[in-house]
């Protein structure tokens, strides 16, 4: 699977170096120079992991991480030129999944990215197993969706009629639990599913 990574750093040279490095490992990369640019990027693209610098003008990485955590569980690896213990502790408390002080060995960053993505995939697979009664039925908040028959059952066991578009949209959300999806992403995903 090709993962999409967002590199958020106000230093263009760092963004370019990380982009070149990560492209060698077949990661699709997007760049942002500040929190606002990242938020706009997240509305347009599906991001699997964020590499976030702590020290940036405007919103610092701690604030950006905290805002993202309010709506998303996208993995975040924080980078900083300051290797202070307190920065690491604050970053992890704000919701970062990992932390790497600069300068760092590029292979260590790649290894940490792989480890975080692997843990995230394992968590998602575990969550999917909890969600399924079997491979054909999703359950959520006492509702049931049978994907073989496309039948939606209410908590009162009433069969709810849904259109093909509603089914596609519902499956989009069920296959991406706890993910924030923009309108454009929903349109693209549902259009591709129906095609």
Query: Between these two residues, 27 and 176, which has the higher pLDDT value?
Result: 27
Contacts of 93 (CB under 8 A, 6+ apart): none
Mean per-residue pLDDT of the chain: 85
Q: Pull the structure tokens for residue 28.
A: 């699709």
Residues 35 and 52 in one domain: yes
In this model, does residue 86 exceed pLDDT 70? yes
Share of the chain above pLDDT 70, in %: 89
pTM for this structure? 0.64
CATH of the domain at 155: 1.10.10.10
Q: What range does the domain containing 181 cover?
A: 135-194
Mean pLDDT of the region 58-85: 87
Residues 146 and 122 in one domain: no
- If one counts the domains in the chain, the total is 2
End-to-end CA distance of the chain: 21
How far apart are the C-alpha atoms of 92 and 112, rounded to whole Å? Answer: 15
Residues 145 and 178 in one domain: yes
Q: Is the dihedral of CA 173, 176, 182, 187 positive or negative?
A: negative
Highest mean pLDDT among 49-58, 90-99, 115-124: 49-58
Confidence band of 61 (pLDDT split at 50, 70, 90): very high
Residues 73 and 120 in one domain: yes
Q: How confident is the model at residue 159, as a pLDDT?
A: 86
Among 126, 153, 174, the domain-final residue is 126
Residues 102 and 151 in one domain: no
Among 102, 126, 150, the domain-final residue is 126
Residues 64 and 19 in one domain: yes
Residues 177 and 115 in one domain: no
In this model, does residue 175 exceed pLDDT 90? no
In this model, does residue 13 exceed pLDDT 80? yes
Residues 13 and 82 in one domain: yes
Q: How confident is the model at residue 140, as a pLDDT?
A: 82
> pLDDT per residue over 109-142, tens digit each?
999 999 999 888 766 555 444 554 445 788 888 8
Confidence band of 83 (pLDDT split at 50, 70, 90): low
Query: Between these two residues, 10 and 163, which has the higher pLDDT value?
Result: 10
**Proportion of the chain in helix, strand, coil states, percent, rounded to 5:** 45, 20, 30
């Amino acid at each position: 699977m090709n993962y999409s990574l967002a590199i958020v750093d106000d230093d263009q040279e760092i963004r370019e170096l990380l982009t070149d490095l990560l492209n060698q490992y077949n990661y699709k990369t997007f760049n942002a120079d500040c929190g606002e640019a990242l938020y706009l990027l997240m509305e347009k693209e599906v991001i699997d992991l964020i590499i976030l610098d702590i020290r940036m003008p405007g919103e610092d990485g701690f604030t950006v991480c905290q805002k993202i955590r309010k709506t998303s569980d996208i993995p975040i690896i924080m980078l900083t030129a300051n290797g202070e213990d307190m920065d690491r502790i604050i970053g992890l408390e704000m919701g970062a999944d990992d932390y790497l002080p600069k300068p760092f060995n590029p292979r260590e960053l790649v290894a940490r990215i792989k480890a975080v993505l692997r843990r995230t995939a394992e968590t998602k697979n575990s969550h999917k197993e909890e969600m399924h009664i079997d491979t054909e039925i999703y359950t959520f908040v006492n509702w049931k969706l049978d994907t073989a028959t496309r039948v939606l059952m209410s908590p009162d066991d009433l069969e709810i009629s849904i259109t093909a578009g509603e089914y596609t949209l519902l499956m989009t959300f069920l296959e991406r639990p706890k993910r924030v999806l923009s309108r454009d992403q929903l349109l693209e995903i549902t259009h591709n599913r129906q095609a």
